[in-house]
Amino acid sequence: MTEILGVNRISAALQRNRPVVLTFHGVTSDTSDTICNDEGLHLYRPLFERLMQHVARYYNPVPLARVVDWLEGKDGPLERAVCVTFDDGFRNVLTEAGPVLKRLGIPSTLFVTTDFVFKKQMLWPDRLVSAIATTREARLEIEVRDANHSFDLTTRDAKLRTNTELNALCKSVSQEERLVLLGGIIERLHVDESQLLSAWEGFRPIDPDEMRLLRNIGMTVGAHTCSHPILARLTAAEQSRELTESKSLIEGVTGYACDQFAYPNGSPGDFDDGTRARVIEAGYRCAFTTIKRRMSRADDRFEIPRCTLTHNRVTVAEFATELSGLPGALRALLNRPGARTDARSASTARSAVLPT
């Protein structure tokens, strides 16, 4: 309704001087019923194209460097500015998203996880869902921290539930424990670790040499660590290694400075003041979170917010609403100090006069 009534365009006009950074992961032409993309982390190409057409028609797509210049006071007002970013380093960003972005003249940035791209080490959620998708086992029994867990694998829905529950379990343990847990799961599912990368074409990483081709479609390359850990859970030395090694590898292949960084996961608590200091020490100019709102001139350039709308059930109207800044403004209003207390007080007042 907000799109039909023009409310989105009014909201976008009111917030036209606050840039938006969008986050995606992959784009695919595969519309099969695989559980590997059930959450829609990789958008269907026709849908992605419709979303980007909306961006090109109503907004001003700019490179990330422009909004960082704006934050530093080196650039004037950026009206209706939108930046497009991708996380992790999937090859389909080059093959599927690239042609769309080039045709529409939309610059973008790919944040690369270097162990995934250079060593072909799958991201742990992709390893997990690939193992569940390909196993022929009917049940999985595992023990985590002295607690026994049993999972049904007999149907597609059962496999999806199992993936959701195991994903939550993996997130609840340390990185070392997670690797051991994943190894045990894959072993019990009796799947070949070397075959997991081919479980779904969308999980294929871009080749390092192909990263040089990204410039031809207006895409720059930033870093997303080596192994995609939650940085705040690592030691200072481990954080520094993740930051400096990934930066060095990317620069060695692309031949230009890698000075943009995106925090893995990127939510508050996934990085801290120490992490921020080490990002600066490693030589990055800026860092991006997944805090979902428009940018503000007052933002710290090492905690830049990004909006994530990554699922194949999103509509253009929903996308337009989020992009307009209206939901973000409402979230900020509801989360302001005292807002919840006011809401509770209003609710109590209503219940005092309404009949029961």
- Rounded CA-CA distance 235/141 in Å is 33
- Identity of the amino acid at 317: A
Torsion sign over Cα 42, 47, 50, 55: negative
For the chain, what percent of residues have pLDDT higher than 90? 69
Reported as a single tens digit per residue, the pLDDT across 70-129 is 999 887 778 999 999 999 999 999 999 999 999 999 999 999 999 999 999 999 999 999
Sketch the domain layout of the chain as residue ranges: 7-119+215-334, 124-198
Tell me the two tokens of residue 113. 């996880």
What residues pair up with 307 in beta bridges, in sequence order?
22
Q: Place 144 in a pLDDT band, splitting at 50, 70 and 90.
A: confident
Torsion sign over Cα 260, 28, 49, 102: positive
Q: Place 312 in a pLDDT band, splitting at 50, 70 and 90.
A: confident
CB-CB neighbours of 144 under 10 Å:
16
Q: What is the pLDDT of residue 94?
A: 98
**DSSP readout, 254-289?**
HSS---EEE-SS-STTSS-HHHHHHHHHTT-SEEE-
Return the top range by mean pLDDT from 6-15, 36-45, 85-94: 85-94
Q: Place 350 in a pLDDT band, splitting at 50, 70 and 90.
A: very low
Instruction: Determine the average pLDDT of the residues in 20-47.
Output: 93
- Identity of the amino acid at 220: T
- Whole-angstrom CA distances from 255 to 112, 124, 211, 226 are 15, 29, 10, 18
Q: What is the pLDDT of residue 254?
A: 96
Q: What is the pLDDT of residue 339?
A: 53
Percentages helix, strand, coil for the chain, rounded to the nearest 5? 50, 15, 35
User: How distant is the alpha carbon of residue 72 from its chain centre?
Assistant: 25
254 close to 117: Cβ distance less than 8 angstroms: no
Q: What is the pLDDT of residue 336?
A: 67
Residue 333 has pLDDT above 50, yes or no: yes
Instruction: Determine the average pLDDT of the residues in 133-147.
Output: 91
Tell me the two tokens of residue 122. 């799958």
Q: Place 355 in a pLDDT band, splitting at 50, 70 and 90.
A: very low
Residue 305 has pLDDT above 60, yes or no: yes
Reported as a single tens digit per residue, the pLDDT across 162-197 is 999 999 999 888 888 898 999 999 999 999 988 898
188 Cβ contact partners less than 8 Å away, ≥ 6 residues apart:
137, 140, 141, 142
What are φ and ψ of residue 246, in 5° steps?
-65, -40
Among 49, 84, 41, residue whose Cα is nearest residue 220: 84
Please, is 341 exposed, middle or buried when counting C-beta atoms within 10 Å of its C-beta (0-12, 13-18, 19+)?
A: exposed
Angle of helix 316-324 versus helix 326-334 axis, rounded to 10: 60
Name the fold adopted by 7-119+215-334.
Answer: TIM Barrel (3.20.20)
Q: Place 264 in a pLDDT band, splitting at 50, 70 and 90.
A: very high
Unique residue bearing structure tokens 């196993």: 135
Q: What is the pLDDT of residue 195?
A: 87
- Rounded CA-CA distance 160/98 in Å is 30
Reported as a single tens digit per residue, the pLDDT across 219-255 is 999 999 999 999 999 999 999 999 999 999 999 999 9
* 124 vs 331 pLDDT, higher one: 124
Residue 348 has pLDDT above 50, yes or no: no
Among 269, 43, 248, 215, residue whose Cα is nearest residue 261: 248
- Rounded CA-CA distance 37/31 in Å is 9
* 355 vs 265 pLDDT, higher one: 265
Q: Please tell me whether the overall predicted TM-score, pTM, comes out greater than 0.85 for this model.
A: yes
> Of the given ranges (33-47, 139-153, 222-236, 323-337), which has the lowest mean pLDDT?
323-337
Question: What's the whole-number average pLDDT of the chain?
Answer: 89
323 close to 59: Cβ distance less than 8 angstroms: yes
Tell me the two tokens of residue 288. 């991006």
Using alpha carbons only, how large is the chain's radius of gyration in Å?
22
